[in-house]
Amino acid sequence: MNGKTFLALLARDAHVARRNLVPLLFQTFLQPLLFVFIFGRVMVGNGYLPPAYKSLLLPGIMAISMSFTGIWAVAMPLIAEFQFTREIEDRLLAPIDISWVAVEKVLAGLIQAIVAGLVVIPLAWIILRPGLELHLNHPLLFVGITLLVAGFSACGGLALGCSVDQQHIGLMFSMVLTPMIFFGCTYYPWSALSKFPILQKVVLINPLAYASEGLRAALVPQFPHLSTPLIVAALMVFDVLLLVVGLRQFQKKAIT
């Protein structure tokens, strides 16, 4: 690996992100903000949902925000840069193994996902207060889960971005990302699916389910959640799996 080149690639992405800061912020925060407001404030405020729902909702929103940001931050530029214009070519010709170009993309996406996740907490706190009960009993668990969730989203972005063509972006959203959110235990805990035993098993193939449950375990352990070792193990498996698949797809796209 060539550290100077890697840092330069990272600097390039940081520069472009800074240039697109305002749209990036809207894209990242508008949806979770609206969700928190409508479900946490409007619905709870009118008594349609119990006050405890506020605390249950927050980790799910955080998981959505992180996953989407990571996937988006890696997949969308890759899809665009591998298109007709081959914008990525100059970076593929940089004096570094091309897998590191992909790893750099993942790292950039991972950082963005972490920022997106962490910013949700103060935002939600402002909107949902009072009645929000967060219990950060194990800070290390929170750090670990946050890193693993960011990792799965960035690696997932790599795998998706190198497998989907530009004309199929819409399909990627409706066929992959939307079901992922609704079957990702984001707006409800996994235990709430106990009345749908088959569905409850099926959602376990969804990495977002472990992300939501993991953040629930780390931030609001008073609610039922999947066992922590299972969550950590599953997220690790997804991280590695998606990275391996993503790197393979990247090589395929990069070299003819």
**Residues contributing to the site for other proteins (CB under 8 A):** 2, 4-5, 8-9, 11-12, 15-16, 19-20, 84-87, 89-98, 255-256
Cβ-based nearer residue to other proteins, 5 or 200: 5
Cβ-based nearer residue to other proteins, 2 or 222: 2
Least distance CB 1 / other proteins (angstroms)? 9
Cβ-based nearer residue to other proteins, 166 or 222: 166
Least distance CB 251 / other proteins (angstroms)? 10
Least distance CB 4 / other proteins (angstroms)? 5
Please report, for residues 73, 173, 182, 223, the alpha-carbon distance to residue 176 in angstroms, rounded to integers and kept in the order given.
16, 6, 11, 28
Cβ-based nearer residue to other proteins, 41 or 252: 252
- Measured in whole angstroms, the distance separating CA 246 from the mean position of its chain's CA atoms is 15
Cβ-based nearer residue to other proteins, 86 or 168: 86
What residue type is assigned to position 244 of the chain? Answer: V
- What would the DSSP string read from start to end of 189-229? -GGGGGGSHHHHHHGGG-HHHHHHHHHHHHH-TTS----HH
Least distance CB 31 / other proteins (angstroms)? 24
Locate 14 and state its tokens: 């940081």
Q: Distance between CA 152 and CA 139 in Å, rounded? A: 20
Least distance CB 212 / other proteins (angstroms)? 33
Least distance CB 8 / other proteins (angstroms)? 4
Cβ-based nearer residue to other proteins, 9 or 63: 9
Cβ-based nearer residue to other proteins, 12 or 138: 12
- What would the DSSP string read from start to end of 89-140? HHHHTSSS-HHHHHHHHHHHHHHHHHHHHHHHHHHHHHHH-SS-------HH
> What phi and psi, each to the nearest 5 degrees, are found at residue 138?
-125, 85
Please report, for residues 14, 189, 212, 254, 256, the alpha-carbon distance to residue 78 in angstroms, rounded to integers and kept in the order given.
15, 33, 26, 11, 16
Least distance CB 106 / other proteins (angstroms)? 18
The kind and range of the H/E element at 158 are: helix 139-161
